[in-house]
Amino acid sequence: MPIRIPDALPAVDVLREENVFIMTSSRASRQEIRPLKVLFLNLMPKKIETENQFLRLLSNSPLQVDVQLLRIDQRESKNTPVEHLNSFYCDFEDIRDQNFDGLIITGAPLGKVQFSDVVYWEELQKIILWAKDHVTSTLFVCWAVQAALNILYGVPKLTRDSKISGVYSHKITNPRAILTRGFDDTFLAPHSRYAHFPCDVIREKTDLLILAESDEAGAYLMATPDKRMAFVTGHPEYDSFTLGSEYIRDLKAGLDPDIPENYFPNNDPEQAPSATWRSHAYLLFSNWLNYYVYQLTPYDLTTRNLTIDE
């Protein structure tokens, strides 16, 4: 089954061109099926690009997924037309009384910003705590992981001395975990962040299970024992060119960035990189939708019972 998105969303044309199976809302409404309701909190500046990346990964499932886009930053966007935001995004007040099968919270370019200085920090706290009662499973990505660790576990903001950027090898730490079912014992994933996720701190200060980690990047994939929350510290959603675009952006800004590790062929920015993490990314999102959302969520969301069996 496909993902279900508004007819006029730019991702419709982009994903169809890639032969990704999507279904517009008008067509989906004629099918007698209960789709999974997934709320997507997009904190990235280039919202349309991020929508395309995540919707592409959510499409690789036999389940029909109804995606609702959510925003919490009301400031004027420099990277996304206001017409797009007003047409396709809702505010938290619009959905706070609803229940959802899944929630995805993206990363944000806030690696060096203190939590107290984040404009929407209080609103984000409210949504993360709200999700404990209104969402079956929440998936946090990159900076959202750092924010959630602070809000839910009191873990202080940990920042690396320099930005980690590149594609790194990871190893499975729990071969029987269902979130990594089908993963190779070692796999590649991209990272682009200042946030620091040392495994010893995660084990000491939280009850999270570390499912995959990297010698260079630290804890990569984590989950609560009840599967209600999953945490991905990297960017599996990235396109093949995303790290390169960030590198060029930082060069133009005079930040003197390091060339992303293990990314450009022969470490040459003039050569086109390949997405060596794509199969792992699709499998990760497919496993999350199936095992952490579909297998656990009630059919009737209005009478949900969030007591989930181990």
Q: For residues 128 and 276, give the distance between their C-alpha atoms in angstroms, rounded to a whole number.
A: 32
Average of per-residue pLDDT across 84-112:
94
pLDDT digits (tens, 9 = 90+) for 9-33: 776 677 667 655 555 555 545 445 6
Query: Is 192 flagged in the annotation as binding?
Result: yes
Give the C-alpha distances (Å, rounded to integers) separating 191 from 5, 103, 165, 169, 184. Answer: 28, 21, 5, 11, 19
pLDDT digits (tens, 9 = 90+) for 233-242: 999 999 999 9
Whether 310 is in a domain gets the answer no
Question: Residue 302's pLDDT band (boundaries 50, 70, 90)?
Answer: confident
- 36 burial (CB, 10 Å; 0-12 / 13-18 / 19+) is buried
pLDDT at 28: 47
Query: Is 163 flagged in the annotation as binding?
Result: yes
Whether 147 is in a domain gets the answer yes
Whether 308 is in a domain gets the answer no
Give start and end residues of each alpha helix (H) in the chain. Answer: 11-17, 25-28, 47-58, 82-88, 92-95, 121-134, 143-153, 199-205, 242-252, 278-287
Whether 34 is in a domain gets the answer yes
Average of per-residue pLDDT across 249-254:
93
Helix (H, G, I), strand (E, B) or coil at 173: coil
pLDDT digits (tens, 9 = 90+) for 121-159: 999 999 999 999 999 999 999 999 999 999 999 999 999
Whether 306 is in a domain gets the answer no
Q: For residues 35 and 102, give the distance between their C-alpha atoms in angstroms, rounded to a whole number.
A: 11
* Strands 100-105, 89-90: pairing kind: unpaired
Whether 309 is in a domain gets the answer no
Question: What is the rounded (10 degree) CA torsion for 79, 220, 291, 60?
Answer: 50
Average of per-residue pLDDT across 257-275:
96
pLDDT digits (tens, 9 = 90+) for 202-228: 999 999 999 999 999 999 999 999 999
Tell me the catalytic residues. Answer: 142, 235, 237
Domain count for the chain, please give it. 1
Which residue shows structure tokens 């510290």? 233
Whether 228 is in a domain gets the answer yes
Of the ranges 21-25, 45-49, 90-94, which one carries the lowest mean pLDDT score? 21-25
The domain of 122 spans 3-301
pLDDT at 31: 46
Q: What is the CATH number of the domain that holds 131?
A: 3.40.50.880
pLDDT at 34: 79
pLDDT at 63 over 60: yes
pLDDT at 20: 59
- Give the closest residue to 259 by CA, choosing from 160, 163, 189: 163
Reduced 3-state DSSP string for 202-221: HHHHCCCEEEEEECCCEEEE
Q: For residues 233 and 143, give the distance between their C-alpha atoms in angstroms, rounded to a whole number.
A: 7
